[in-house]
Amino acid sequence: MTHVILLLIYGLLSASAALILNMLGIATPIEAGLAGFTGLLVAAQAQSGFARRKQARAQRHEVARLKQTTRELAAAVSEAHIRIGDVKAAVEAKSSEQSRKIVSELKVLESLMREFAARISEKSRPPRPEPELETRVTAGARSYLDTLGEDGLLETIRASLEENRVDLYLQPIVSLPQRKLRYYEALSRLRAEDGTVIMPAQYMKIAAPAGLMSVVDNLLLFRCVQIVRKLTARHREIGVFCNISGDTLTDSEFFPQFLEYMHHNRDLAPHIVFEFAQASVIAAGAKGEENLSYLASLGFALSLDHVGTLAIDFARLKRIGFRHIKVRAGMLTHGMSDAGASVAAEDLKKLLERHGLNLIAERVEDEKTVVQLLDYAVDFAQGFLFGEPRAVREDSLKPVENTVPAPVIPFRRSA
C-alpha cells in the first residue's frame, strides 16, 4: 500500500512538472508529457531500489536473528543433554545405592536373626531326640512331622530359624466390587531340612512356649521390608500387612528393638500395616498399648484381626492408632449376634467409619458371600476366592505357584 501511494505522488509530481513546462512554453505538450513520464519512471526505479535495499537489510537482520536463535537453541539443547545426563546418573546412583542398602541391610539383619534364634533356642533346647525320632519318613509331610514328636519338632523349628529357612507368602486383599488388588498380607512358613513345609498351625503351638515367635516375626518383618522396598522402587502403590504375634508384642527384649528399627525406617510407613490378633491387643496391657501407640505415631497403620467378639471399644482402638479391622465373612453373614455386635451387619461399616476404621472381610470363599458383603457395603475382602497365599521367590517379586498342597482354609493364626 505504501508503494502505491508513493507512485501516485510521483505521478502527480511528474504531471505537474509537465504542465508547468508546457505553460511556460519551454516544451510542447508532447515533449512535456514525455518528460513527465520519464521523471515518473526514474522516480519509480529509485523507489524500487530503495525498497530492495530495505528488504535486503531486513533479510540480513532476519538471517542474523535466526543464526543467533540457532546458536542459543544449540546451547540450550547441549545444556539439557548435560542436565538429563546428570539426572540419569543421579537416578542410577540412587537406585544402585538403594539396592546396595537392601542387600547389606538384609545380610546384617538375617545374620542377627540367626544369632538371636540361636541365643533364644539355647535357653529352651530340648534333649537330643532319640535316634528313632531322627529317622526320615518320606511318605508325606504330615507323617514325617508326626514322627518327630514335640521335642523333635522344636529342634527342627530351631534349625529352620537358625538356617533362615523361613519362606514368605503373599495373599491379596482386594477392593469391592472391582476386585482390584489393594494390599498383600504377608505370611510365613518354615521349611525343614528336607524341604518339608511346616505350617503355622504346626509350628506356632511349639514355637510360642519356647519363646521363638519373636524370631519368626522378626524374619517375616524384614522380608516385608524387602518386598515393600522393591514394590516402591517399581512405583507400585500397594501396601503389605505384616503380622506380629502377641508373644512378640509383649517381648521386653525384642519389641523395643523393633520400635527403634521402625523409627529409623519411617519412610516405609505408607506401605506397611502391622497386624495384631484381638486377643493379643486385649492382653497387651498398658505397656503394650503404649508400644502400639508409639508405632502408630511413626505413621504406621495398625490392623486388628482374628476377631472373636465385636463387643469392642472402637474409640479405644482409634486412640491407639488402629485403622483396619478384619472380620470373618461368616461372622458378618450369620454370626453377628453370637459375636456380641451392637449393630446389624449392614450397619457395621458405618459404625467403624465413625471411628476411622476400615472394614475388611476375610476368609471369603464363594460368590454368594461376595453378594452378601456388597449388600453390607464392605469395601475390602480377602480369601481364597480372590487368591490363595503364594510363595515369593528370593530373586523376584512375582508370586509363584505353591509347590505343596494348599491348606484347606487361608493361613491364619490359631486362637
Per-residue model confidence as pLDDT tens digits over 274-288: 999 999 999 988 889
Same domain as 67, residue 209: no
Note the pLDDT of residue 362: 97
Note the pLDDT of residue 341: 93
Same domain as 198, residue 97: no
Is the separation of the CB atoms in 192 and 162 below 8 Å? no
Same domain as 222, residue 306: yes
Is 134 domain-assigned? no
Is 120 domain-assigned? no
Is 75 domain-assigned? yes
Measure Cα distances from 267 to 242, 291, 392 in Å.
16, 19, 23
Nine-digit cell string for 382: 480377602
> Model confidence over 184-233: pLDDT tens digits?
999 988 888 888 888 888 888 888 888 888 888 888 888 888 888 888 77
Nine-digit cell string for 193: 531340612
Angle at 266 between CA 175 and CA 189, to 5 degrees: 60
- How far is 327 from 337, CA to CA, in rounded Å? 14
Same domain as 396, residue 283: yes
Is the separation of the CB atoms in 175 and 182 below 8 Å? yes
Same domain as 207, residue 73: no
Q: What is the CATH number of the domain that holds 179?
A: 3.20.20.450
Q: Give the CA count within 13 Å in the CB-facing half-sphere of 304.
A: 26
Last residue of a domain, one of 60, 88, 106: 106
The one-letter code for the residue type at 157 is: I
Angle, nearest 10°, between helix axes 200-207 and 141-162? 50
Nine-digit cell string for 326: 478384619
> Model confidence over 58-93: pLDDT tens digits?
777 777 777 777 777 777 666 656 666 665 566 566
Is 156 domain-assigned? no
Is 386 domain-assigned? yes
> Model confidence over 89-113: pLDDT tens digits?
665 665 566 555 555 555 555 555 5
Specify the number of domains making up the chain: 2
Same domain as 307, residue 171: yes
Which is nearest to 360 in space by CA: 312, 303, 314, 278?
A: 303
Give pLDDT < 50 ranges for the chain: 123-140, 397-415
Last residue of a domain, one of 106, 132, 153: 106
Is 377 domain-assigned? yes
Same domain as 194, residue 80: no
Same domain as 354, residue 241: yes
Is 127 domain-assigned? no
- How far is 226 from 16, CA to CA, in rounded Å? 99
Note the pLDDT of residue 135: 36
Is the separation of the CB atoms in 167 and 391 below 8 Å? yes
Is 119 domain-assigned? no
Neighbours of 147 (CB within 10 A): 17
Cα end-to-end span (Å), the chain: 98
Same domain as 325, residue 186: yes
Same domain as 247, residue 386: yes
Same domain as 203, residue 94: no
Last residue of a domain, one of 84, 106, 128: 106
Same domain as 295, residue 393: yes
Parent domain of 369: 167-400
- How far is 337 from 318, CA to CA, in rounded Å? 23
Neighbours of 238 (CB within 10 A): 17
- How far is 53 from 63, CA to CA, in rounded Å? 15
Is the separation of the CB atoms in 373 and 341 below 8 Å? no
